[in-house]
Homo-oligomer: A and B are copies of this chain.
C-alpha cells in the first residue's frame, strides 16, 4: 500500500466484451503512466483504475512493457491519422511546416503527461517497446521530413538543406522549448512559438548582409 495517489477507482464490472475491457485497461494505463511515469506506476495502479483485478490485466497485455508500448502506439496511431487527414489539405510547403510545428506544440501542451512518457521512454532501446512503437515515431516525424524534402524539390528550400538535421532541430527544439512546461513550470504559447520557429527555419537568425536586398521589416533603410 504505497503512499501513491490513487484516483477514484471505477467499480468492477463483469464480463465485458473483450475489446471493451481492452480499451478500458488501456485508458486506465494511459492515465496512470502519464501521471506517475513508467517506473513509478504499478500494475496494481492500472488494474485498480481500470476497475479490474490485477491478474486480469495480463490476459490482455502480456507485460508492463507491452502495456506502455500499446499506450504510446495508440497515441501515435491517433496522431498519425489526424496528421494524414490535415496535412494533405495544405498546399504550400510553408503552411505545412507551420502546421506541423504547431501540431507538435499542441500535442505537448494538451497531453504533457503522455508526451513526457514518450520522450522519456522512447529512448530506452527496450526491444518490446521498439517492436511495437518502432516505426510509428518514424512515421510521425516523416511528415516533417517529407514536407522539407518537398520544399527542396519545389525550390522553396535550398537544395543543400540537411533535411534530417533540420527535422531534428524542429522536434528537438520544440521538446526542449516545452521542457519547462512539461515540468509544470510556466505556460506554452503555441502560436507565438510556432511563428518564431518557422521564421528561424526559413531565414535563420543571421543578419542578411546584402545592400540590395535589405532584411526584415525593422530595416531602417
Question: Which residues from chain A sit less than 8 Å from chain B, CB to CB?
Answer: 1-4, 36-40, 58, 62, 92, 94, 116, 119-121, 123-126, 148, 151, 155-162, 164-166, 168-177, 179, 182-184, 193, 196-197, 199-218
Partner of A177, one of B1, B38, B159, B168: B168
Partner of A2, one of B39, B116, B125: B39
Q: How far is the CB of A144 from chain B (nearest CB, A)?
A: 11
Inside 8 A of A58's CB, which chain B residues have their CB?
Answer: 1
Q: How far is the CB of A80 from chain B (nearest CB, A)?
A: 19
Inside 8 A of A184's CB, which chain B residues have their CB?
Answer: 125
Inside 8 A of A216's CB, which chain B residues have their CB?
Answer: 94, 158, 160, 202-203
Partner of A173, one of B116, B172, B193, B203: B172
Inside 8 A of A160's CB, which chain B residues have their CB?
Answer: 216, 218
Partner of A165, one of B121, B200, B215: B200
Jot down 26 A-B pairs with beta carbons below 8 A, ordered by A. A1-B37, A1-B40, A1-B62, A1-B121, A3-B36, A116-B123, A120-B120, A123-B179, A148-B205, A155-B207, A158-B205, A158-B216, A164-B177, A165-B177, A169-B177, A169-B197, A172-B173, A172-B175, A200-B201, A202-B205, A202-B206, A203-B204, A204-B204, A209-B213, A210-B213, A211-B212
Q: How far is the CB of A174 from chain B (nearest CB, A)?
A: 7
| Minimal Cβ-Cβ distance residue in B for A151 | B205
Q: How far is the CB of A221 from chain B (nearest CB, A)?
A: 11
Q: How far is the CB of A216 from chain B (nearest CB, A)?
A: 7
Inside 8 A of A202's CB, which chain B residues have their CB?
Answer: 204-206, 216
